[in-house]
Amino acid sequence: MHLHGSTKFTPSGLGKIVLKTTACQVDVLRRDLFIPAATVELKLYSREWCSWCIDAKEYLTEKGYRFNVVDVGKDRQAYEEMKKLSEQTYVPTFVAGGRVLANFDTDQLQKFLNEHQINP
């Protein structure tokens, strides 16, 4: 995600910092911000036979998230990428921008999404 900063001045002369992303404009002075999923690439590393992976796919789909599924059982390069990102070898592994959640169930996934304010 590329952020570009600019300063806008209010009539009272106080500066206001605004960050612009490719998908939205974010006012850094507000406290009720969230990261729209459209601005963060969501990737789920999984294996076809993994029940927790299936649960994670169903959860994300039901909640309306758009994400890429990478089957590390069929793609050795993707498996190596997952190991490098997560510093472990278990699936499912979920990557949201630079944040990684590995070896989780749907309760842990929901908590991760809420903590990082990643919304569909």
| Domains of the chain, residue spans | 4-31, 37-119
Q: What is the pLDDT of residue 16?
A: 34
- Across the strands, what pairs with 95? 43, 100
Could you give the CA distance from residue 104 to residue 71 in angstroms, rounded to a whole number?
16
Give me the chain's average pLDDT, please.
78
Predicted pLDDT of residue 7: 33
Please name the CATH architecture into which domain 37-119 falls. 3-Layer(aba) Sandwich (3.40)
Tell whether the model's pLDDT for residue 2 goes beyond 70: no
The number of C-alpha atoms within 13 Å of 107 and in the hemisphere containing its C-beta is 0
pTM: 0.67
Does the pLDDT value for residue 47 go beyond 70? Answer: yes
pLDDT tens track for 81-91: 999 999 999 99
CA triple 92-97-101, angle to 5 deg: 30
Place of tokens 């959860």: 59
pLDDT grade for 58, boundaries at 50, 70 and 90: very high
